[in-house]
Structure 1
Amino acid sequence: MSETPSQDDELAGTEQPFVQHLMELRDRLLYCIYGVAVALIVLAIWPGPNGLIDFIAQPIRAHMPPDAKLIAVGVFTPFFVPLKVLMLVAVLAVLPWIIYQLWAFVAPGLYSHEKKFALPLILFGSLLAYVGIAFVQFFVLDKMFGFIQGFTPTSVAATPDIASYVESILSLYLAFGMAFQVPIVVMLLVRFGIVEIDKLKAFRGYFIVVAFVIAAVVTPPDVISQLALAIPMCVLYEVGILGAGWFLRVSKAPEDSEEA
């Protein structure tokens, strides 16, 4: 009767030559490119680059005069800005597919109990990124531009440049998408033994200060966007602490669970 292989031997014999790793990486990158290309084609057909520009411009257009429009200062701005937005939205649309390809590349080097929690964690991280971007589009931008436009003198016509506007909101999308990954970072820090839950709880007051400092650096100089980033980061930090204990239990190796 053959013995069941131990957890230490689970990955024995799964090593691959370096060239084969490079070929696997090439294939995964090609899959990512194919996914982005499909998303580009679909989005170019509907709603199209102009439709995407109209959608992301809604928050600022809501606080401009009815007949006012965003302007294009650069000669090639009307051509390159919609393409830039189209590319970004295509990447965001297939973000779970891209992260899955990354996971599939490293999955052969993971133990079975690690594979069980890796994929749900990736999907949860993608969902948090989408929530952060949606929070910017449907709440933060509206409140931020309403606050800014309230300080515009009546003798001044606020007609922002579309390129400047897109750069600003893309930086906010990135900032909030990354900030909403706080629970993932907290749970991974606990899972890999870098920090203990008790220390995270003791660090709670310092994290609040760190969150407001980060918000002051990465957001525009208005109190609305800064609070809109700092407060969710503090809440998500608490969510990460609550989820870290559960995640630590469910992601243990079978041998560790039996010993416990």
Structure 2
Amino acid sequence: MKNPIADDGTSPKIPILVPFTFYDKTYHSVYVNNNGVVSFSVPVPEYTPKAIPMVDGKAFVAPYWADANIILGGHVYYRQTQKPELLRNVTRDINNYFPEISFTATWLFIATWDRVAYFGSLSSKVNTFQAILCTDGHVSFMMLNYADIQWTTGAASQGNPRTGLGGIPAQAGFNSGDDKNYYNIPSSRTPQVINITKTSNVDVPGRWVFQVDNFKPAGDPKELTPKKEEPEVLQKEEDLPEQETGHHTHEDNQEVPEEQSHVDSDEEESDHCE
């Protein structure tokens, strides 16, 4: 499935086939938010990332919470699957990262932000990253993949429109909705988050993996020298069927740079709305 082409948009409420346990609470639905968040039960459309923990009761994973605008470029995809090949792949990886746990994935949810631009962009910079939820019906894991990160901040979060840097940079981490259960990936909401493709807790540059039913990271965070090949992204644009998308427009228009290669000629640009 593909999210509508909209600034600060979210997916519809997505009922999930297998209940997912996150911080000892069981959830039956998720939302995929354009601004880099997968949330449980309620959407999180806010564009400027807030410091974690947030004590408003919202539970979510933020692979890269920042002010994206897919009207200017990119797509947000999601799917839940029980495809044997993908289940085998993630089972192999989880057993490698958590050797003390005997785990066989029976369900996956994959959300991919593919070459997404930032709000107010006057450049061709884009980000590609992914969140994967998996479970065997009891034990739950999340894997975050960062394939290419070129910007940290949208213009409405005090970022530079020409560089996508400065202001309030992206937040990466987990929030349970209280002030006790949360996790911030090192460098979150700092300029260094641009280097998240070089960091890991599983010795694979650009990959972070966590057990999330009662929350345990796989290992110690490290900054690594990236290998020639980036971590494999399970869901790529060419693997997905195209479908019609809606347009989200506002009264005022926002300048779109000529070099922005992912803007369709018939799409309308928009000002920011929360």
Which one has the bigger helix percentage? 1
TM-score normalised by length of structure 1: 0.27
TM-score (norm 2): 0.26
The structure having more radius of gyration, on CA atoms, is 1
